[in-house]
């Protein structure tokens, strides 16, 4: 089957792209290892227009409900490679090979974890992977910023 579009990633950008594709009634596929991406780890999302101070999990739930209105399903497959052959894009996962006319890569990012005791337990409850996003939540508190090179210094 040849898709008009394949979307890689189901974070906010991938979900938004999927909703637009569904509204345009094009033949598309969305591939992702999870739904919500890094936003689902955020305890408070206070920079999303129109919905101040909402837990990341709750915002992801709203996005997912919106996708369900359009009967959008996410295939839980990890993309291993993307190649162009002429005008066709070949996307390979561990399970399948897909073909498309266009692709949107909205794969987001994964922070490098410290692997220290309590990291998972306190994620979103004091441990954050986004200084820009979560610094206002730590106002007037003593914090430690752990990062390498300029990214740590900038944070």
Positions marked catalytic? 130, 133-134
Give the separation between CA 32 and CA 66, rounded to whole angstroms. 17
- Integer angstrom CA distances of residue 106 from 37, 51, 78, 145: 10, 22, 13, 27
Cβ partners under 8 Å of residue 82, min gap 6: 8, 89, 90, 91, 92, 103, 105
β-bridge mates for residue 79, sequence order = 93
The three-class DSSP label of residue 23 is: helix
H, E, C per residue of 135-149: HHHHCCCCCCCCCCH
């Amino acid at each position: 089957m040849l898709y008009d579009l394949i979307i890689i990633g189901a974070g906010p950008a991938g979900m938004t792209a999927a909703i637009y594709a569904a509204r345009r009634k094009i033949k598309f596929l969305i591939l992702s290892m999870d739904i919500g991406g890094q936003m689902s780890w955020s305890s408070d999302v206070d920079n999303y227009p129109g919905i101040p101070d909402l837990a990341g999990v709750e915002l992801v739930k709203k996005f997912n409900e919106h996708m369900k209105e359009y009967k959008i399903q996410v295939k839980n497959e990890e993309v291993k490679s993307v190649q162009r052959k002429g005008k066709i894009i070949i996307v390979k996962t561990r399970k399948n090979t897909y073909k498309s006319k266009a692709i949107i890569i909205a794969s987001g990012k994964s922070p490098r974890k410290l692997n220290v005791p309590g990291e998972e337990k306190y994620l979103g409850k004091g441990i954050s992977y986004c200084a820009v996003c979560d610094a206002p939540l730590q106002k007037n508190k003593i914090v430690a910023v752990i990062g390498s090179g300029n990214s740590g210094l900038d944070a």
